Copies of this chain bind each other. A is one copy, B any other.
Amino acid sequence: MITIKDISRKCGVSPSTVSRALADSPLLPKTTKTRIQRAAEEMGYVKNEMATSLKTGVRRTVGVVNFVGQNLGFAHYLFSEILNGFSTYINDIDYDILLISDKTLQMGENLIPYLKSKQLGGVLILSGYYDSQGLRQLIGSDIPVVVVDPREEILLSMADCVSSDNFSGMYELTSEIISKGHKNVVFVTGEDYYVTHERVKGFKKALADNAIPFSDQMIVRGNFYNLSAVADNVLKILSYDNNPTCIIFSDDYCAVNAYEVLRSKGLTVGQDISVAGFDGIEMGKHMSPRLTTVVQDAETMGATAAKTLVDRMNGAEKSDTKLIPTGLFLTESVKDLN
């Protein structure tokens, strides 16, 4: 490993001059700067980040908390895509990403000192679905934190948050479904989190705006990215007296599985019953009929989270929750009853 000292010897200057040249300090004349920079380049110099961070107390590294084992861990479609977008942005600005296990957040009082010892510039919580004492500690500390899809509304006022505009997305989807003549729509939600609350609000507002009375039966509690209850929920809905014409699922993964369940009951999606999902996963595009869905822009969510985090690290004040617009993808999986 070649160090700043080696370069200084080679160039006949002092180590600090090399340090300045490498930092592109305005104090040095261009000629010497380029001379030193080129020498460093030639010698294959790469700075020892440990030394820098030991000196400066900060590191070009951010932590990402993911919840391995819960709802598929890294295999969770949406969060994985968000992480893709996040890491692209972070790597572009030459930062690194350190994975932080969810267990870490459960370590108790030493959590903050522990994280500080890692000299992280900031932390991304992916996702806040997993609320905890540890998350609160982290948010309460002076470590910049960005939360994607926070679990509880209260986090919105405590930390920088990024989320899809679930309210509008669901409102638009429901409105379109209603405009196709559906009056008896059932929404199978995910867990009782902020994201779900927003979607339920959007759902109800669309009903209200179209003068369709709401009944409790129209909301069925399901789970995000978990197929274990899909079949039961579908069967329950099919048993309703009023014969619902459309079922909306809180994610495409469950919706795709619902095709399967419905077919096993002899029902054809898009004919006998309509189905819609949420997220916009690849599998939905390959169903027949192709799945109607609200597309979450995961790439933008990730990039926005990254940008927000970097801004915070650079001293920006807490910003308002960033709502990323969703897209609507309407197909024949929702039948036109008109």
- List residues of chain A with CB under 8 Å of any chain B CB: 1-2, 44-51, 53-54, 59, 61, 64, 68-69, 72-77, 80-81, 83-84, 87-88, 91, 96-99, 101, 103-104, 109-110, 113-114, 116-119, 227, 230-231, 253, 256-257, 259-261, 263-264, 282-283, 285-288
CB contact under 8 A between A75 and B80, given known A103-B91, A114-B46, A260-B288: yes
Residue of B nearest to A230 (CB): B286
Q: Are B1 and A109 in contact (CB under 8 A)?
A: no
When the two chains form the complex, which single residue of B81, B88, B96, B109 contacts A118, counting CB atoms closer than 8 Å?
B96
A49 contact set on B, CB distance < 8 A: 117-119
A110 contact set on B, CB distance < 8 A: 44, 46
CA distance A75 to B97 in the complex (A): 17
Which 8 A-B pairs have CB atoms at the shortest separation, nearest pair first?
Answer: A74-B80, A75-B80, A97-B99, A46-B117, A91-B101, A50-B54, A73-B84, A46-B113
Q: Are A96 and B96 in contact (CB under 8 A)?
A: no
Q: What is the oligomeric copy number?
A: 2
Q: Are B74 and A84 in contact (CB under 8 A)?
A: yes
Q: Least Cβ distance of A7 to chain B in Å? A: 13
When the two chains form the complex, which single residue of B2, B47, B73 contacts A81, counting CB atoms closer than 8 Å?
B73
Q: Are A44 and B91 in contact (CB under 8 A)?
A: no
Q: Are B117 and A88 in contact (CB under 8 A)?
A: no
Q: Are B73 and A99 in contact (CB under 8 A)?
A: no
Q: Are A44 and B113 in contact (CB under 8 A)?
A: yes
Q: Are B98 and A98 in contact (CB under 8 A)?
A: yes
Q: Are B59 and A50 in contact (CB under 8 A)?
A: yes
CB contact under 8 A between A231 and B286, given known A1-B113, A103-B91: yes
CA distance A126 to B215 in the complex (A): 49
A64 contact set on B, CB distance < 8 A: 99
CA distance A230 to B285 in the complex (A): 12
A73 contact set on B, CB distance < 8 A: 80-81, 83-84
CA distance A138 to B22 in the complex (A): 26
When the two chains form the complex, which single residue of B87, B88, B103, B287 contacts A260, counting CB atoms closer than 8 Å?
B287
CA distance A73 to B75 in the complex (A): 10
A261 contact set on B, CB distance < 8 A: 288
Q: Are B230 and A257 in contact (CB under 8 A)?
A: no
